[in-house]
Structure 1
């Protein structure tokens, strides 16, 4: 991807989900055309399948061929990298993930999401060793890395400073159980909105979506929202435009496309 331009992209997790057929997708649309359709209604999709197993280079190339200019895929990194006791030993698994052919996506390759289990606690030296393993480029493409941590031990300024040192973003997770880390540590911002409900047509209540729209615009302009509690409030990130990603994930999946489309209209 190119340098950050303050672009806000909203999206969903994956594009295959039976309840979306006849609602998000037109009646009788062939499954093989679902990505083509989804990528023209949304500006990003987070791929979960890459967390569980490898894909072929031809698969990534096919995905890239079906989406329009400006659309990006965020890829969840392999669980074999992040689900381990000693992260410093993840080098081989990381290389296997990064060399499976994902660069076939070209300009459509968005952030790589390294997600950690709720039981994974913050061990500064080991996490620093993990961050040092993350390459800036793969096959000539610049990589964007973001981590999602889900244990309260990460709620310390030391962790935020460590991410900023390595220019790695942290997931701003709006979740009922996991910690919220709205701090800016990288060149882009990545939000996962996970409190949606199936009985709300827009996934989130309209007021909440409007609140998030305001925050996303603040992030994109180079600021930090003043209504979210920062982990490191004394840190002042560089004032510059940042690309922003916001995904409606997990909760309220039935209406996630509606939420993403409504949010897109507001930003």
Structure 2
């Protein structure tokens, strides 16, 4: 099977998208189904803060087409509270919380690390060990500069875990490393450079980046999580149009 691009935004419920991305009068209950006609993936962020019910996972799975895929942000407890220490219980608890109800529509799990959490080879190694054997794709968004370390790259590659390629002005490291059989990017859309969203010109380099991943046989997951969130879905649509072109 050839590599695919999965492009979308974080979440699908946002008042400013109504009347712009969503047609006027569309019921909120129908917004996910509509979004799934315009983008090819969505990153679920609600799971970062609380565990959705199993009924919610099933409803989301049933609302989208068969070829639609969700990325899921893993619960914050493992990274923010435990700081990746003793990760096995919290990783197992999250994986058993209902996320697998997405079935074949479950894409990568995103493990977002806090910006103040520095790189520790042993701690990261045990965390990555805890992800082994889950039969799921995992991506790590490292936001402390110390993660720009060849030891981290080697660990991620050994475990087949993707390192997130970010686009941000927050001083987070830019890690464009092919460490897995898929790639994952999050476009934060620095407001100084993209005050009104990325637009066609802004997404052009990301279309090129995505094509590079596909040409190398890697699926590419790209999410517009712009600082000015109102532009995120239209930026995702613009990126899909650039890829189609």
Shorter-normalised TM-score: what interval? over 0.9
1:116 to 113, 130, 134: 113
SS in structure 1 of the partner of residue 37 of structure 2: helix
Distance 1:135 1:199 in 2: 40
Instruction: Specify the alignment match of 1:236 in structure 2.
Output: none
Instruction: Specify the alignment match of 1:259 in structure 2.
Output: 235
Instruction: Specify the alignment match of 1:152 in structure 2.
Output: 145
- Structure 1 unaligned runs (5+)? 223-240
Verify: 1:169 aligned to 2:162, yes or no.
yes
Distance 2:56 2:154 in 1: 37
Distance 1:154 1:85 in 2: 18
For residue 207 of structure 1, report the CA deviation from its aligned partner. 2.5
1:221 to 209, 215, 222: 215
CA contact (8 A) 1:75 1:110 kept: yes
1:189 to 183, 189, 193: 183
CA contact (8 A) 2:132 2:159 kept: no
Deviations 1:60-88 (A, max 9, x none): 11101000121111110011111145524
Verify: 1:71 aligned to 2:68, yes or no.
yes
CA contact (8 A) 2:203 2:239 kept: yes
For residue 252 of structure 1, report the CA deviation from its aligned partner. 2.7
Instruction: Specify the alignment match of 2:206 in structure 1.
Output: 212
Instruction: Specify the alignment match of 1:54 in structure 2.
Output: 51
Deviations 1:213-238 (A, max 9, x none): 1111011111xxxxxxxxxxxxxxxx
2:92 to 81, 91, 95: 95
CA contact (8 A) 2:87 2:126 kept: no
**Structure 1 segments of 4+ aligned residues over 3 angstroms from their partners:** 196-199
CA contact (8 A) 2:200 2:239 kept: no
Distance 1:207 1:259 in 2: 10
SS in structure 2 of the partner of residue 173 of structure 1: strand
- With normalisation by structure 2, the TM-score equals 0.94
1:143 to 136, 147, 151: 136
Verify: 1:32 aligned to 2:25, yes or no.
no
- With normalisation by structure 1, the TM-score equals 0.86
Tell me which moved more, 246-255 or 81-90. 81-90
- Structure 2 unaligned runs (5+)? none
